[in-house]
Amino acid sequence: MSRLRVSVDLDATPRQVWNVVEDIGSHVEWMNDAVAIRFVSSKRKGVGATFECDTKVGPFSLVDVMEVVEWKPGRAMGIRHVGLVTGTGRFTLSKRRWRGRGGTRFTWTEKLSFPWWMGGPIGGLFAKPILRHVWRGNLRNLKRIVDGV
């Protein structure tokens, strides 16, 4: 299982950040690897919302099937990957003070297992630095949206 964690400090309150990330369908606006999101449940937010995400990293693409398993407005969103790649992902938002102002530390953690045809654990080792690079870029995009820079 590959474990990844990336974080960014944002010049906005956890509530303001949550207002951006709670709209799962809009994640394609800041996630470079998310091409399209289609909901397969009637719920579009909260525990039980299920969706397919067309994901593309370099020449590799797949449909990532996810279900929201944790929903704490202003604090955390957790998902379970139930498609070809399995595992869990979680966004956490925590109050942060820096530069004399309040803000939010946004942390994205993932624990992913890759199928045998993607190299299994070895494929996960090779994917880890690539995914970390992509997700850091995603967080820079999120910062531009949230901070308006």
Total-model pTM: 0.89
Give the domain ranges of the chain. 2-147
Indicate the fold that domain 2-147 takes in CATH: Alpha-D-Glucose-1,6-Bisphosphate; Chain A, domain 4 (3.30.530)
Per-residue pLDDT tens digits for 19-55: 999 999 999 999 999 999 999 999 999 999 999 999 9
Cα–Cα distance, 69 to 149 (Å, whole number)? 32
Per-residue pLDDT tens digits for 91-122: 999 998 666 677 999 999 999 887 776 667 77
Q: Which residues pair with 52 in a beta bridge?
A: 38, 65
